[in-house]
Structure 1
Amino acid sequence: MIRSSALSLSLLAAALATVPASASAQWQWRDASGRMVYSDVPPPPDIKRIVKGPGQPAGEYNPAEATATNAEVAPARPATAKAAAAPAPTAEEAFQKRRAERLEAAAKDAQKEMEANERATRCAQLRNYAQGLQQGARTGVMTSDGGVQFLGGEQRQAEIVKTNANIEKDCG
Structure 2
Amino acid sequence: MKSHKLLLLAVACTWAMGAAAQWQWIDKDGRKVFSDRPPPQEIPEKNILKQPGGPLAARPATTAAAPADAAKAASAPAAAAAPRAAASAAVTGKDKELEAKKAQAEAAEAAKKKAEEDKIAKAKAENCTRARAAKASFATGRPMTQTNAQGERIFLDEAGRAAEVKRIDSIIAADCAR
Larger Rg: 1
TM range (shorter): 0.3 to 0.5
Choose between structure 1 and 2 for higher RCO, CA contacts under 8 A separated by at least 6 residues. Answer: 2
TM-score normalised by L of structure 2: 0.44
